[in-house]
Amino acid sequence: MADSATDSALALDLLGACLSAGIPVPTAAEAVAGVAVGSVGGVLRDAAHALALGASPESAWQRAREHPDTADLARAACRTASSGSALATQASALAERIRRAEADRIEARAQQTSVLVAGPLGLCFLPAFLCLGVIPVVLGLASRLNVLP
């Protein structure tokens, strides 16, 4: 999952950079599709080909709307069909959101791991603490109070 999220964010950053440079949406999507890893490249390539052939943005981005990694991009592309620079801003924002979500997921996993590690450590040290710390103190107090014969 981490590789997929990282790859999707990178593809969105590349698309945003291409669009910010003034490259038309079909050309930028085709260029990014050529270097994108996984199924994101195929989805972008299909959208680029449909746009280059003159399809409407809604029909060109239909397959991308059905793909989980590109659904937000496809919706943004349909909303901002008349402006590549607006899509560039949306693509960069989506890439940042994907990175934040992935960082949150990784942090939650690390916190969960630390909790899972603390349990066995506590079970290992608790008997030693009782035998070496608590029992001698209790026995010492009991002998001073003449509770033990």
Residue reference for tokens 């409407």: 56
| Residue 67 token pair | 């793909």
- Domain annotation covers residue 85: yes
- Domain annotation covers residue 125: no
Amino acid present at 46: D
* Cα–Cα distance measured from residue 147 to residue 149, given in angstroms and rounded to the nearest whole number: 7
CA angle 67, 69, 72 (to 5 degrees): 85
* Cα–Cα distance measured from residue 122 to residue 114, given in angstroms and rounded to the nearest whole number: 12
| Residue 137 token pair | 């103190």
- Domain annotation covers residue 53: yes
Whether this prediction's pTM lies above 0.85 is answered by no
Digit-by-digit pLDDT tens for the chain (149 residues) are 445 778 888 888 999 999 999 998 889 999 998 888 777 888 889 999 999 998 898 899 998 888 887 888 888 888 887 777 788 888 888 889 989 999 999 999 999 998 888 888 888 888 888 899 999 999 888 888 877 66
- Domain annotation covers residue 145: no
Domain count, the chain: 1
